[in-house]
């Protein structure tokens, strides 16, 4: 499971770099499909990941306002900050908690930790696909989504 988080974080970082070629207005432009804009989509991925991890930890959700993260630098900084906390949690042998049932404030259903971790991973991959479509619409090469060929070492978690 750790390698899939590492994969998502590597790809996310590559999207942050990719975004630097566009003016902020283009990153904020509302687009068809997905979460709305390129920048909001990246923010949304981070927000969802952090909220679910905090839910697994029985911590209160932190509600973030996108207006406070309206540049690629601010969204990347948010990602880096949350990643440190999430990586520490994942390294705590999450496998032992996979069957723990979790309840969160924004959903009336209950889920196992295993279901939530899979959801977090798939959620990001889904939105990365949308970013790739938008990149092509802009006539730009998207970030590679290939898992094969990437290097994952435990030290890479942070």
Provide the pLDDT confidence category of residue 154 given band limits of 50, 70 and 90.
low
Q: Share the mean pLDDT of the chain.
A: 92
Percent over 90 (pLDDT), the chain: 80
pLDDT, greater one: 151 or 75? 75
Which residues have CB under 8 Å from 42's CB, separation 6+?
12, 15, 16, 19, 72, 75, 79, 131
pLDDT of residue 113: 95
Q: What is the DSSP letter of 98?
A: T
The pLDDT of 95-121, averaged and rounded, is: 92
Q: Which domains are assigned to the chain?
A: 2-157 (1.20.120.450)
Secondary structure (DSSP) of 20-34: TTS-HHHHHS--SST
Q: What pLDDT score was predicted for residue 150? A: 87
pLDDT at 153: 63
The pLDDT assigned to 91 comes to: 83
Segment 112-127 shows an average pLDDT of 96
pLDDT in tens, 26-72: 999 999 987 899 999 999 999 999 999 999 999 999 999 999 999 99
Strand partners, 102: 111
Largest distance between two CA atoms of the chain: 46
> Cα torsion for 34, 124, 7, 87, to the nearest 10°?
140
Mean pLDDT in residue range 72-84 = 97
Q: What is the pTM of this model?
A: 0.92
Does the pLDDT of residue 23 top 70, yes or no?
A: yes
Q: What is the mean pLDDT of residues 107-119?
A: 95
Calculate the dihedral angle through the C-alpha atoms of 100, 101, 104, 107, rounding to the nearest 10 degrees.
140
* Mean of pLDDT values over 135-144: 96
Q: Which of 156, 141, 117 is nearest to 9 (CA)?
A: 156
Give yes or no for residue 156 having a pLDDT over 60. no
């Amino acid at each position: 499971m750790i390698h899939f988080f590492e994969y998502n974080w590597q790809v996310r970082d590559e999207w942050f770099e990719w975004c630097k070629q566009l003016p902020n207005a283009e990153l904020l432009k509302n687009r068809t499909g997905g979460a709305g804009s390129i920048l909001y989509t990246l923010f949304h991925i981070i927000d969802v990941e952090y909220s679910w991890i905090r839910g697994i930890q029985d911590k209160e959700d932190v509600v973030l306002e996108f207006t406070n993260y309206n540049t690629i630098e601010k969204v990347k900084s948010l990602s880096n900050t949350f990643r440190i906390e999430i990586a520490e949690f994942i390294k705590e042998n999450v496998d032992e908690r996979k069957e723990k049932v979790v309840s969160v404030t924004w959903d009336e259903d209950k889920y196992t930790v295993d279901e939530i971790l899979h959801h977090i991973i798939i959620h990001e991959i889904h939105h990365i696909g949308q970013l790739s479509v938008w990149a092509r619409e802009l006539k730009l090469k998207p970030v590679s989504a290939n898992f094969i060929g990437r290097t994952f070492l435990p030290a890479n978690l942070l």
